[in-house]
Amino acid sequence: MIADLLTSPEEDELSASLRGLLAARCPSTRVLAMYDGDSSLTRDLWPALGIDMGLAGLLVAEQYGGAGASARDAAVVLEELGRSLAPVPFLTSSVMAVAALLAAQAVDPLREIAGGSLTCALAAPLGTCITTFSPTATFDDGGFVHGRVVRVAGTEGSGLLLVPASDPHGKLVLAVVDTATAVLEPLASLDMSRPLADLQFAGSPASVVAQGDSAAEAIRAALLLGAALLASEQVGIAQWCLDTTVGYLLERRQFGRLIGSYQAVKHRAADLFIEVETARAVARYAAATWADGSEDRFVASALAQAYCSDVSVHAAQECIQLHGGIGFTWEHPAHLYLKRAKADQVALGTPGDHRAILSGLVDLSI
């Protein structure tokens, strides 16, 4: 079966609605304020997206109170969130945590997430992929979690944590922990629009939702789906950079000519356009394979991250360079997109990690 990479009318409508809301409520000036410690944008924006638009439970099955939508719909959302750098926990809570909870069949947390009353974060370092994952927390016989997990995304404002841990017998467990029982140490990271924190557990009460192979499968589902759909966010970043750059080239004059009229600049813009369109096709294919439950979804996820990560960074670099002096200023939002692109490039595995995964899946030694 060949995946349909064209968007449906419903997906186009969702994209347009989101773009309009984000244009009104998520200006780059408010994203920039997060670098000075102002996190009010997240608090203001997420209720409108998560509750009013129902995005919190987009991937949650209808019997658990969610929308029962597919990975294709989530990809549409993430592309728009990437285009605006919206600092909301959709990827960490509504995609990754939900994927793990669905695999573990943990009904109660899913209902709460779908209702928008709380968000949940997978307590794993943001740079973790399926080949580098290793639990650093422990779960004792009394039902308490101990240990430290570093560089975790989505913890700010989160009500629950999904903590992978090792029990006294060396078996993997996935436990739900109330965020209030853990110590969060916020980090000054490259991309402050997706805040990170170190987590310290010192006997935090926990309830196990999966153990052994079931826990491993739940974590695998979260990391793989997260990687597949992160590619759509990267496409959104790259598209904003391309659109903004072309708009500037068509209005800025130098030596009496539009910058966009110089042949060398035209070639750079054309090459970037091809890269972004290719990345969009790759990302949509990854989302489509997950929506269909295709056997190709693991290959598609690795391919999407191996390619889209680099395109996103290149687009942001070209955006800054082709804007000239203004592109290097703090006031221009181009640097915000470069920071998110670079952070995303190593989130859920580097391009090198995913090329290694891809080579193993297709029996190609590298």
Q: Residue ranges per domain, the chain?
A: 9-117, 122-210, 217-361
CA-to-CA distance for 101 and 281, rounded, in angstroms? Answer: 29
**In CATH terms, are 122-210 and 217-361 the same topology?**
no
Predicted local distance difference test score (pLDDT) of residue 363: 80
pLDDT tens-digit map of 110-130:
999 998 889 999 999 999 999
pLDDT of 220 strictly over 80? yes
Q: How far is CA 19 from the centre of its chain?
A: 17
Mean local confidence (pLDDT), 178-197: 94
Q: What is the pTM of this model?
A: 0.94
What is the rounded average pLDDT of the residues 325-344? 94
Domain 217-361 grouped into CATH 3.30.160.110:
no
CATH superfamily of 122-210: Butyryl-CoA Dehydrogenase, subunit A, domain 2 (2.40.110.10)
Q: Quote the strand ranges of 80-192, DSSP E.
A: 120-122, 137-139, 144-153, 160-166, 172-178, 183-186
Evaluate if residue 184 carries a pLDDT over 90: yes
* pLDDT value at 87 more than 60: yes
Triad 196, 143, 122: Cα angle to 5°: 25
In this structure, whether the domain defined by 9-117 belongs to CATH 1.10.540.10 is answered with yes
The per-residue pLDDT for 237 is: 98
The per-residue pLDDT for range 249-260, each reduced to its tens digit, is 988 887 778 887
* pLDDT at residue 3 tops 80: no
Please compute Rg for the chain using Cα positions: 20
Predicted confidence at residue 193, as pLDDT, reads 93
Average pLDDT estimate for 297-321: 96
The percentage of residues in the chain with a pLDDT greater than 90, rounded to a whole number, is 84
CA distances from 151 to 117, 121, 347 (A): 25, 12, 10
Place of tokens 């975790």: 152
- Span 38-51, mean pLDDT? 92
Exposure on the CB side of residue 63, measured as CA atoms within 13 A: 4
pLDDT tens figures, 139-170: 999 999 999 999 999 998 899 999 999 999 99
